Each structure stands twice: as structure tokens, then as C-alpha cells.
Amino acid sequence: MKRGTVWRRASGPVAALATLVLIGSGTVGTPQASAAAAGCQVTYTVSSQWPGGFGAGVTITNLGDPVTSWRLTWSFDAGQTVTQLWNGSYTQSGGQVAVTNVSYNGSIPTGGSTSFGFNGAATGSNPAPTTFTLNGTTCTGGVTPTTPPPTTPPPTTPPPTTPPPTTPPPGTRLPCDLYAAGNTPCVAAHSTTRALYAAYTGNLYQVRRASDNTTRTITPLTAGGVANAAAQDTFCANTTCLITIIYDQSGRGNHLTQAPPGGFPGPAPGGYDNLANATAAPTTLNGQKAYGVFVAPGTGYRNNTTNGIAKGDQPEGMYAILDGTHYNGGCCFDYGNAETNSRDNGNGTMEAIYFGNNKVWGYGAGNGPWIMADLENGLFSGVNQKYNANDPSISHRYLTAIIKGEPNHWAIRGGNAQSGSLSTFYNGARPNVAGYNPMKKEGAIILGIGGDNSHGAAGTFYEGVMTAGYPTDATENAVQANIVAAGYR
């Protein structure tokens, strides 16, 4: 694996924004932007490289009049192809790549910018593109009038105000905004406690009550806010409720639902796992009531048909906020990437956060619990198959747990979700055991169970995300600061 940075700046006629994560084949429209003066600057950065592939980010800054939609084009001259992209839609024909905005980032005000990211394939050299064109105008860094100046006095009515930027200002960014700014966008974002994007107003989770089997969807109180726990309390009054769906906030549809039977059948009818009691993990965020996901043995959630989750040896990152005092030695309280058939498909077919004090496959210092990586047929606390002294026991009431991996490189990080910064417990090569380099990740998502539907574990989950690309420590540190500011108590 080789990491490096390649960049090129260009400017020109139309304002541009881009958050490019996925490069591949897709069909998109070609919206046209209107502007009286056009100008843009593009920064193209290769954030990581590995044999046969690379990750890149694109930032477009609009130097001209506001635009309401955009289309950015460039040419790859060395046979590179986009394989995965986020914060945009793309098409590629030969070396010609076109990326257009998605519904939430089409408007770019004067002086505003946005970014998109992608993963690509490259079989030889990987030179940066030399020219970018926005809405038909080559980016040159200047501003060019596209309509003649008015010869009559300006209207007496004031011009429309500049639309707000599509990217929230730094002080209001939530975890997935921060990952997107770091060119490693969320491809799955799950939380029953709060929104994970500053602009998110959609569904967080669904509950079903026992009295009549009807359901209620819970949303944030405000955009980017805490869950409307009062709505759940009212709906579930004088009965019990179960959490039936944990919605994916990323827009990719990677929702978590009742885990199906796999290598091990679950205790619910049909061999499914149990659903979590919706009121068993109350919490507050800056004084506002919310509920987590209380996983008792036998409980599990899963999605085996995902969109955009890392496969094979593709890079990814993930974090989860957990109750560091609720755990056991059962297998396996996981959140992350798993097999798509709910079976044990061999070493390296998983990459998930594990939390608990199971010592059968691996362990760290002390008596646990530990943050480890479930890579299938092994819980790894470092490079060694069993014991790694640098992975400490950690049991904060609210715990931040991080696992991230890329070709022959991975890391464990963690910290107190209520205060302070993150610590790195491992940062190095893949385990020194056959079958984990390269990885063979399959791209399902699990919560509370092992990849083969082992369901003997216990734990509590509040929020977590999975990213496209390998996040930097700096990005994760910014996410940690936001988690602390969220005020879990």
C-alpha cells in the first residue's frame, strides 16, 4: 500500500462543488446551471493508493454567480476508471468522466464550495487530470461574464438573497458532515439517538407496539437534532415496544432490520433473532431524552443487500458509540462489515467493531472489555492472533470505538465519548495469520451479532457509521469532538 497526495488546481467559468466518493458506472441526468458570471477552481487530491486502485477527493469552489445545479467533467488519460463515488452521480465513457450534483448539493453560492469523493481503479500510472469543466466552461480561476451588463438602471426591488451553502459551517457539522469533508463519506449511518448530518430530518428508527402491532417512525426533533423520544413514549404508553428498523441516514438505503437465520438460527420465529426492547436503554443528549439499542443475548440486526459498503480489500472506516459497562464474553457484539449469506465464509470475510471480554480468539491487556476487530475466525487486538499488550481494557460509560482498514493496514482507536480525545491502540499491518491479506470483505452490515449469526453477546449501541475510504486520524478526531459535544449522559 502506498499513500500519497496528488493535486491540481484549475479555475474557470462556472461555480463548482464536488464530494466524489464513488466512481463507477451509473446513469445520471445533466442539469444545467444558469449564471450571469461564471468562474470556478477545482482541487483534485489523491488521498490513498494501493495495488490496482486509489481514492481521491474533488473540491469545487464557485468564483462566479450562484448556481443551482452543476456538472463537472474531466478526462483520465491513463485508463483509470471510477468504481465508487459519493456526494454526486457519475457516468464514464472511455476516459471521459462526468459528475453531476445530487438532490441536496446542487446549489453553490458565490464563494461557496463543496466536495465529492470516489474510489478508482488504475492498472499502471495514475496521473491527475489536467483540465476540469464546469457546466460547459473550463475552470481557469477567473470570472467571465456570460451576459452583457445591463444598460438600464437596476430594479428597485432587492435581488434574491444568496442561498445557504450546502455544506454546513464547521461549527455545526455532525459526524457524517465531517467524514464527507475528509473525503471519506458515510455510506451507512445508524442512530436511534440523533441525526448524524446537520441537515438530516428523516427517519431515525421505527418501533412496533405489542398492543396492536402498529408501528411508528421516530425522527429528529429538528434538522440535525436529537430523536423525538416523546413521540415514542406517547406511542408506547401502557404497552411494550420493539425497535423494528434502524434507518440508514446516508441515503443509500442500508437500513438494519431483524437478523435472519444463518450459521446459527435465532430464537425468534423462523430462526430470526430477537428485536431490541425500545425503552431498555434510555439516555440523554445535552439534557434531551433519547433511547439506545439494548442488545440482550439473542438480539440482532442485519442487512445482507447493501449499497456502497466496502468489498474485497477496499478501504473503509467505522465508529460506534457503545455502553462500555454493558458487555459479556459471548460471541459477538459487533457493528460493521460481514458476510452477505449470514455464514462463516472464512478468514478475512468480515471487518467489524467488536466490544466485550471474549478471550477465545484474542484479547488485550487486563481483563477486558476490549475494542477489537472481528475479521472472521478471529477477534484481533493487534497484529498477533491472540494477545496484544497495547490494546487496553476500556469501559467508559459512553465509549467511542473505531476500526478502519485498507490494503495490509488497519487500526484500532477508542476513547471516552463524554470527554477527551481518542487514543490509538493499534496501527499497522494486517494480522500475521494466513487469510487476512488481502481481505475478502463481503459488504453486509451487522449489529449485535457475529457474521454467522452467533447471537450470544450483550451490549448497547447508540450510534455508528461506516465510510467509503480510510479516514484520517484528523477526521476521526473531529468526529470525536462532536460526539463529546453531543453531551451523552
Provide the residue ranges of all domains of the chain, joining segments of one domain with +. 7-145, 172-486
How many Cβ atoms from other residues are within 10 Å of residue 210's Cβ? 10
481 CB-side CA count, 13 A: 12
* Cell numbers standing for residue 29: 441526468
Separation of alpha carbons 146 and 159, rounded Å: 18
Pairing of strands 399-406, 379-380: unpaired
Set 334, 344, 351, 376: catalytic member: 376
Residue 476 a catalytic site member: no
Provide the residue-wise pLDDT of the chain in tens; the chain has 489 residues.
Answer: 333 333 333 334 333 333 333 333 333 333 333 334 688 988 888 866 667 778 788 888 888 889 899 999 999 999 998 887 777 889 998 889 999 997 767 888 887 878 787 878 888 889 999 999 999 888 987 665 544 444 444 343 343 333 333 445 555 799 999 999 999 999 999 999 999 999 999 999 999 999 999 999 999 999 999 999 999 999 999 999 999 999 999 999 999 999 999 999 999 999 999 999 999 999 999 999 999 999 999 999 999 999 999 999 999 999 999 999 999 999 999 999 999 999 999 999 999 999 999 999 999 999 999 999 999 999 999 999 999 999 999 999 999 999 999 999 999 999 999 999 999 999 999 999 999 999 999 999 999 999 999 999 999 999 999 999 999 999 999 999 999 999 999
Q: How far is CA 297 from the centre of its chain?
A: 27
- Give yes or no for a contact between 411 and 403, defined as CB atoms under 8 angstroms apart: yes
Question: Does 2.60.120.200 match the CATH number of domain 172-486?
Answer: yes
**How many Å apart are CA 318 and CA 299, to the nearest integer?**
21
Asked whether the beta carbons of 98 and 91 are under 8 A apart, the reply is: yes
452 is catalytic: yes
Q: Indicate which residue of 316, 391, 406, 452 is catalytic.
A: 452
**How far is the C-alpha of 288 from the C-alpha of 40, rounded, in Å?**
43
Provide the CATH topology of domain 7-145: Immunoglobulin-like (2.60.40)
